[in-house]
Structure 1
Amino acid sequence: MSESTPSPGLPRRLLTDPEMVAACAERDFALIFQLAKRKCGFHPSRVARACELTPSRVGEVMKGRPKITNMTVIERIADGLRIPGRMLGLADRSWEPSPIPRRDPTPVVEPARTPLPVVDSRSGSDLDNILAIAAGTRVTPNVLRSLQASIEDYWRRDDQHGGEALRPAVIGQLRYVTGIMRDTADPNYRRSLHGIAAELARLTGWTYFDARQYNTAQGYFTESLRLAREIDDRPFIANVLACLSLQSTYQDRAQDAITLALAAQDSARLVGGTPRLLAMLSMREAFGHASAHDQASTHRAITEAQQHFERIREGDDDPAWVEYFDRTKLTVDTGIALGQLGDATAAEPLIAEALRAEPTTNLRGRAFHSFWLARTQLQQRQVELACATATEAADLAAVIESPRVVAHLQEFRHLLRPYRANASVATLADRITSAAG
């Protein structure tokens, strides 16, 4: 093929350029993308289309953050840009015309696996262990349906009351399911059990995250990733990465949050992630950018989330775990991201609208959203109104088990310090102290 003919990948003259050869040998994708743009006019949008990435991800990589280490993504870049496998230390690609003698690739060091944080079932004599031993390992479709129904009940109870009281039951069921998995040979049942165990591990991590026990939460999230990876459930891997992204925003690790959200989008796109899933993941990216106070990137990610959401159609094959992300959730998340940026004027009506539409049974969500509404009101110096809204959040905090909610209220009490002479502020500060106690 001549270079004047449109080509799906980079031209030979660039692939033989010493600077490009060196960049490929180092897997320096920032420089690879920069050279493709500077010398061949491959702009980020074109690279993104070719490699099944987002333009924002390509732009971030070109700036040197984050570095690409995921082998699946590296292979997509090789195939999308038609970079011969040997240049990136990969096997010869299927589209290459003929095998070419090559040196051994640089060995890739596998990262250390995070130890499984689940308690060894042999060390306990709790009811779940006793029942697991007595029941044996017989798996039927009814057993799988029962386990899935339990998970859906856990989701509902977590939304309503927080995860603190829920955690022992979830951990017990996780041990029960992993015990069954060890003795089940049927491949169909094993795949279903892996999926159930992955969600139970993720949910356990979520309850620890809600309790602000971040290290333990990350251990369970990592175990959930391992279980999902064993059955190559790419959408669920994206879900867990989204949880880790949100946790990173709480730990003031904005760049980690962005990197994890982008990795989640990559994982979802590998199998054609549904619009609802991609909308949720774009909002997690927006939270990361907002935490970094990057106005332009936050607004771009919000716009992408809204565009994905408008593509939702009846009959989409959404995983059950992402169905919670409805228009009300999109609205409130948009408001929270804008509030984090300090744009209280735009954020307040969005959060208020979502609170009006949100189910009254979702106590923890309403507590969070009331805090964010109060914060935007305080940013606009509506002190009395902000105190009234925050009092509603404090009342909800008293009936749920969520240290994250309490931490937000304590943060709000700190924000009230310039107004501590106000009687309403003093009353609210006492109320927050009581809720924290």
Structure 2
Amino acid sequence: MSGSQPHRVLPAELLADPEWQEACRRRDFTRVFRLLKLKAGIHPSRIAALCDMTPSRVGEIMAGRRSLAHIDVIERVADGLRIPGAMLGLAHRPWEIPARDRVGDQAPVPSRIPEGGPGSALEPVESLDDLLALADGQVTRSTLTALHSSVEDYWRRDDQHGGAPLRPAVVGHLRYVTQLMRTADAALRRDLHSLAAELARLAGWAYFDARQYSTARTYFTQALHLSHGQDDRLFMANVLSCMSLQATYDGNPNDAVALACRAQDAARTAGDQPLVMSMLHMREAFAHAALRDASSCHQAIDRSRDAYDRARGREGEAPSWVRYFDENKLIVDAGIALARLGEASRAEPLIAEGLRREKAAQQRGRAFHAFWLASTQLQQGKLDAACHSAGLALDLTASIDSPRVAGHVQEFHRRLRPYACEAPVIAFEQRMREALG
């Protein structure tokens, strides 16, 4: 392959190299770029061109002075260099999906050969429309397994890096599954229907995290219709709980209460589901807190704790989508509800304990909870501690794309205005300029 030709495939020896595999697993792009030069002869200028970066940025990464954290940039590097998604902890990239007209001994279809000639037909198909055109309706169980795996990966990436950058991919998958539903066998159509409902909920959540509430509501409504068509009462409760949380954020707490209570009604019809009910009572507590209804909020928190106690030892019976709601989440969410009420002294130790227990990989949750900890400390006049906690939230936002979290940080900054001349605030503002520009 000459230097003037587009780079399409990495050498098999490099992909099998243990040092390369470890560098990719750790997302250590200093080592990745160095190994590309050393073992594949791909020089920094070529890396820059393939990954849509400046040569100076590539040089800084190779020197160890910069790193890559944003998921969209990491995906761009994977696509530009043709690094298999699994090596970097990503879902399969579009160019890794084999085109059906390249499998077996079928003769090429003339209309599918690009203008560049038969040789260029070997190039990976990358556009969504091309992928949809390749679908022939032959859905199998393995197709469903692969799609479910992609959804699980999206949720993991949402938890780690925020949902905003996932929107195009999730909506594309939703369109793809909707297309498959039209031609799939009746035996698989119900499963595809459920998968489409989950993708619609995920799309709604991604737009919610991006603070695009009207679009989020559209996708949540689509998910609700899809789950209603399946008479899946538990999943309907799940979607309604998301809509309740969004209504709380969107300044409609009365709607949030109504949606949370309706979700509880839907869940009750599905039998005894204490973990689901625990989460739904906490959603109700958030809504009552936004209304400053202390009595109703405390009662909802108590109901959430009681339901969680009944769920102990039965977590495996709960739907997979609610198992994130563990004891730590119960503790920190109770703290957030109390913080919304203005009961800062009771909220602070709960949120601090939840933040201490939280896994390092849950970066968006940690950033979100660090903000709430800072908020409760500021309410109590603990300016140094509040700015320190908010600094942790800032550090975490460097590797996530969540306008919802960024909005919380900016709201906290506005509340610091009366203390603008204090040394902790001056230092925090400098960190904020560096982190958020």
Taking structure 1 as the reference length, what is the TM-score of the superposition? 0.70
CA separation in 2, counterparts of 1:204 and 1:238?
A: 17
**Residue in 1 that maps onto 2:326:** 326
Tell me which amino acid in the other structure corresponds to 1:306.
Answer: R
List per-residue Cα deviations over 1:60-119 (Å, max 9, x = no partner): xxxxxxxxxxxxxxxxxxxxxxxxxxxxxxxxxxxxxxxxxxxxxxxxxxxxxxxxxxxx
CA RMSD in angstroms, aligned pairs only:
1.4
Aligned residue for 1:267?
Answer: 266
Tell me which residue corresponds to 1:183: 183
Q: Does 1:419 align with 2:419?
A: yes
SS in 2 for 1:205: helix
- The code of the aligned residue for 1:311 comes to R
- Measure, in 2, the Cα distance between the counterparts of 1:159 and 1:294: 30
CA contact (8 A) 1:164 1:402 kept: yes
CA distance in structure 1 between the partners assigned to 2:405 and 2:216 by the alignment: 17
> Is the 2:315–2:323 Cα contact (8 Å) retained in structure 1?
no
The answer for the alignment partner of 2:7 in structure 1 is: none
Q: Partner residue of 1:305?
A: 304
Match of 1:249 in 2: 248
In the alignment, structure 2 segments of 5+ residues that lack a partner are 1-124
Deviation at 1:320, TM superposition (A): 1.0
Q: Please tell me whether the aligned partners of residues 268 and 278 of structure 1 are also in contact (alpha carbons under 8 angstroms).
A: yes
1:284 equivalent to 2:288? Answer no
1:172 counterpart = 2:172:
yes
Between the aligned partners of 1:237 and 1:129, the Cα distance in structure 2 is 31
Name the CA shift for 1:248/1:315 in 2 (closer, same or farther; >3 Å): closer
Q: Distance in 1 between matches of 2:198 and 2:153?
A: 13
- Structure 1 position 165, deviation (Å): 1.7
User: Which 5+ residue runs of structure 1 have no aligned equivalent?
Assistant: 1-124
Aligned to 1:358: 358
Equivalenced residue count is 312
Q: Residue type of the partner of 1:323?
A: R
* Alpha-carbon distance, 1:135 to partner: 2.8
Match of 1:44 in 2: none
Alpha-carbon separation, structure 1, partners of 2:322 and 2:170: 19
State the partner residue of 1:101: none
Report the AA paired with residue 337 of structure 1: A
Inter-partner Cα distance in structure 2 for 1:135 and 1:198? 20
Name the CA distance, whole Å, in 1 between partners of 2:220 and 2:436: 27
Alpha-carbon distance between aligned partners in 2 of 1:232 and 1:126, rounded to the nearest angstrom: 36
Q: Which residue of 1 aligns with 2:409?
A: 409
For 2:198, the equivalent position in structure 1 comes to 199
Question: Partner residue of 2:3?
Answer: none
Counterpart for residue 224 of structure 1: 223
Give the counterpart letter for 2:417 in structure 1: R
Task: Give how far 1:137 is off.
Answer: 1.0
Describe the SS at the equivalent of 1:400: coil
In the TM superposition, residue 178 of structure 1 has moved relative to its aligned partner by 0.3
CA deviations 1:248-289 (Å, max 9, x no partner) are 111111101000000100111111151111100000000000
Instruction: Summarize deviations over 1:301-348 as a string: whole Å, max 9, x none.
Output: 000000000011336521111111101111100000001111111111
1:25 alignment counterpart: none
Note closer, same or farther for the CA distance 1:164–1:327 as it changes in structure 2 (3 Å cut): same
Deviation of 1:435 after TM superposition, in Å, equals 3.7
Equivalent-residue separation in structure 2 for 1:406 and 1:368 (angstroms): 9
Q: Determine the C-alpha separation between the residues in 1 that align with 2:130 and 2:270.
A: 40
Instruction: Confirm or deny that 1:374 pairs with 2:374.
Output: yes
Aligned CA distance change for structure 1 residues 232 and 407 (closer, same or farther; 3 Å): same
Could you tell me whether the CA contact under 8 Å between 1:235 and 1:273 is conserved in 2? no
1:433 is displaced (CA, Å) by 4.2
Q: CA deviation at 1:366?
A: 0.3
Which amino acid letter does the alignment assign opposite residue 222 of structure 2? Answer: E
Cα displacement (A) at 1:176: 0.7
| Contact persistence 2:234–2:267 (CA under 8 A) | yes
- Is the Cα–Cα contact under 8 Å of residues 335 and 347 in structure 1 kept in the other structure? yes
Alignment partners' CA distance in 1, 2:348 and 2:256 = 24
How far residue 164 of structure 1 moved from its aligned partner, in angstroms, is 1.9
Q: Secondary structure at the match of 2:400?
A: coil
Q: For residues 170-223 of structure 1, what are the alpha-carbon distances to aligned partners after superposition, in whole Å with 9 as ceiling and x for unaligned?
A: 11111110000011241x311111111111111111111111100011001101
Residue 434 of structure 1 and its aligned partner are, at CA, apart by: 4.4
Moved more, 125-134 or 158-167: 125-134
User: Over residues 28-80 of structure 1, what are the superposed CA-to-partner deviations in whole Å (9 max), with x where a residue is unaligned?
Assistant: xxxxxxxxxxxxxxxxxxxxxxxxxxxxxxxxxxxxxxxxxxxxxxxxxxxxx
C-alpha distance in structure 1 between counterparts of 2:314 and 2:239, whole Å: 25
Answer whether contact 2:139 2:185 (CA < 8 A) is retained. Answer: no
Q: Show the counterpart of 1:151.
A: 151
**Cα deviations by residue, 1:379-433 (Å, 9 ceiling, x for unpaired):** 1111001101100101111221010111101110111112111011022124334
Question: Which 4+ runs in 1 deviate beyond 4 A?
Answer: none
Once the two structures are superposed, residues 138-177 of structure 1 have per-residue CA deviations (whole angstroms, 9 ceiling, x without a partner) of: 1211111111111111110000000122111111111110
CA distance in 1, matches of 2:272, 2:428: 44
Are residues 1:347 and 2:377 paired?
Answer: no
Contact 1:210 1:404 in 2 (8 A): yes
Query: Quick one: distance in 2 between partners of 1:405 and 1:249?
Result: 15
Specify the code of the residue in structure 2 equivalent to 1:216. Answer: T
Aligned equivalent of 2:46? none
Cα distance in 2 for residues equivalent to 1:333 and 1:270: 25
Secondary structure of the residue aligned to 1:165 is helix
Q: Does the 8 A contact of 1:129 with 1:176 survive in 2?
A: no
Once residues 410 and 243 of structure 2 are traced to their aligned partners in structure 1, the CA distance between those partners, rounded to angstroms, is: 23
Q: Secondary structure at the match of 2:164?
A: coil
Q: Which amino acid aligns with 1:247?
A: Q
Q: Secondary structure at the match of 2:165?
A: coil
Helix, strand or coil for the counterpart of 2:360? coil
Identical residues among aligned pairs (%): 53
How far apart, CA to CA, are the structure 2 residues paired with 1:316 and 1:166? 28
